[in-house]
Amino acid sequence: MPTRLVGTVLLPGTLGPLVIGGVFYALGLGGPAGALWAAATILALGPATWWVIDAVRHGRLGADAIAVLALTGSLAVREYLAGALIGVMLATGRSLEDHASRRAGRDLRALLERTPRWAYRHDDGAVRRVALADIVRGDRLLVPAGEIVPVDGVVEGGMAMLNESALTGEALPVEHSVGAGVRSGTVNAGDAFDLRATGTATDSTYAGIVRLAREAQAQSAPIVRLADRFAAVFLPLTLLLAGASWLASGQLVRAVAVLVVATPCPLLLAAPAAIVAGLSCTARHGVVVKGGGALETLGRVRTLVLDKTGTLTTGRPEVAEVLAAPGRAPAELLRMAAAVDQMSSHVLAEAIVRVARDRGLELPRPLNVSEVPGHGTEGRVNGRRVTVGKAVSPQDAWAARVRARAALDGAMTVWISVDGCTCGVVLLRDTVRPDAARTLRRLRTAGVRRIVMLTGDRADVAESVAAVLGVDQVLAEQPPDAKVRAVRAEQAVTAMVGDGINDAPALAAADVGVAMGARGAAAASQAADVVITNDRLDRLADAMDTARRSRRIAGQSAGIGMLLSLAAMTAAALGTIPPAPGALLQEAIDVAVILNALRALREGRGTRALLDAGTEALLRRFDQEHAWLRPSLENIRATADALADSPGPTALRRLREIHRFLIDDVMPHEHAEEVRLYPAVERALGSPEVTTTMSRAHAEIERLVRRLGTHLELARDDGPSPDQLDDLRACLYGLHAVLVLHFTQEEEAYFSLSARFRAS
């Protein structure tokens, strides 16, 4: 019977006759009552038989087989009330499962909807829209801004700025000059460009991903219900006891009574009830689990495979640092750059504007703004000409150092020029999610034994992220088909977590696929069994906690119910319980185990730390202070760099400013953390050891600040003496490194507990 007919036909078709028959029986109309109960039994027998046949075709024989035997036996010995009760219980259990199992689809509908259907082709000097199927090798196409590249090809005119994250996992846009090859499925993040097709739609990269996802879905093994696993033991035992009672007594009614009492309602009702309760809990956390089978499997996961971009990282470029040329102020340069970039829709411009507003900078309205494709945006801010984008001609030593640093950090550079002079640069990176490290630790605590990062991104970028998070294996530069092979190569129950189009085949191939659905590709959400609807990775740990707890409660409920049923079956085999009273006794057992199963509705702590309101407020306060202090930390490193070139009075002034910042702002912040935040965190996490290393960092910061103060006392009026310079630079570099690392550790270990991060 189709899923939608279970609740609309089978359940009312069995419950209605049972209730109406009961009314007739109470009025002394036993004949009509029996007829109604028999009709309900027959109605339930049809779909139940089909479910058993379907299970056998797939190599399974589960709980439904006992129900079919009990229904058949009830009809054979004319115990119609018992049959009707079994039919209602069967329909109710299936309705629960089917309600939980309505899948938004692994039909890849979104992936197909995203497939381009049109292309813009140059024909006789004009651009015409043509069907994608009409494109042939050698056609010259126009790819407008924001459009998906329709077929594989090479850039023939203009600069192609492509968002390739859906295919490669690379979060930052990639520039392709004339003659460079590009792949279908990427998005034009810049201005329109011309493309020379090197293939047709059917042999394009994107079409290959669609085919691969379909194949992975078709080859995925069906999920086995928890009830069926219990029934594998319970069914033979039931048949043995029923057969033995029939042979020993010669009375078929005893065998039917055993089957009626043995009807696996704890399996058909209690286990699904616990799983549905678990689905309700995960939904409250912003996690949509597409069915009870998926939740059960999530609770058994031992290997976790994660995509990098958009899963372990934010999936979008974030401003890491703003570096200013000597004599320039980073905050002022950021303000001017963001003012111009307000008028641009470029993804890098959005990142610059976002961080400027987060830092509370007031952005003036620019004049005469123009955007040059492939070069950047230009405008006038407070009478000065500001250009944001590619460097004009920064060839000095400072620019060389910045370029080397960007290359070492794997960062993208956006240069800021004022009146034709290059004055600063913005470094952008795809940063690790603040909750990623804690989430992986929670998952290991919950039972995950192996964590693999699987990404299409470059190996050096992937390794840098993996080093921070401590994953067990890194597989980088993996195309979609290699991702599928890697997932299938894992031996234990495996979950795959991703968000891109290139992840959809691997999500379909995994035992349970988990999609980051807040900003990820719709195709990934369609191919997954679990969808995280908000942009928080720790929801995965919450969902896994809930899955394990629900599965444990479902198992307890089923186990208790089966033990009670065994006791009742023994009594029925001895002839002390007839079929109809046996069905009522089974109902009492059902009520008991269902009440136990509904415990899964309550929240369990799991691996999540529970915070009181006071600790929550402290985390928010110190998180805000970090956001305010962080931009000034870069000035410490910049001052250390400048000491090599100009160790005179200007350097002394900057050193005093840094010391004042450290004494007036940083040290009070660190002292308040030590006195107020750390004791609260120790209470929340249950151990004083969790803050020991942070306290040691405070001591090191204080030592370095005192050392800097001593250097200032020893310095002459015209600047530090030459014999101070090496130690001064070491002191400043040390302060910068310790403070940045310390801030990052606190944000990952403590601030990520805050409701600001847990909010849906």
What would the mean pLDDT of 577-601 be, rounded to a whole number? Answer: 74
409 has a pLDDT exceeding 70: yes
Residue 747 tokens read as 């944000």
Distances in Å between the alpha carbon of 189 and those of 427, 471, 683, 737? 19, 32, 48, 35
Region 256-266 average pLDDT: 69
DSSP class of residue 477? S
| 318-362: pLDDT as tens digits | 888 888 887 788 888 899 998 988 888 777 888 888 888 888 888
- Tell me if 569 sits within 8 A of 238, measured CB to CB: yes
479, pLDDT greater than 60: yes
Alpha-carbon distance of 348 to 173, in angstroms, equals 8
Structure tokens that stand for 25 in this block: 């029986």
What's the whole-number mean pLDDT along residues 101-129?
A: 63
- In what side-by-side order are the strands of the sheet with 287-289? 287-289, 530-532, 512-516, 494-498, 303-306, 450-454, 473-475
Helix (H) or strand (E) holding 674: none
Per-residue pLDDT reduced to its tens digit, 45-83? 888 888 888 777 866 666 677 778 778 877 876 778 777
pLDDT tens digits, 12-57: 888 888 889 888 888 888 888 889 989 988 888 888 888 888 777 8
For residues 544 and 696, give the distance between their C-alpha atoms in angstroms, rounded to a whole number.
34
Query: Which neighbouring-strand residues pair with 128?
Result: 121
Q: Is 307 assigned a catalytic role? A: yes
pLDDT, tens digit, 9 for 90 and up, residues 513-547 = 888 765 555 556 666 778 776 777 888 888 888 88
Lookup result for tokens 């309700």:
280
Sign of the alpha-carbon torsion through 719, 720, 725, 730: negative
User: pLDDT grade, residue 223 (50/70/90)?
Assistant: very low
Q: 228, 307, 499, 535: which one is catalytic?
A: 307
Token digits of residue 230: 């219990």
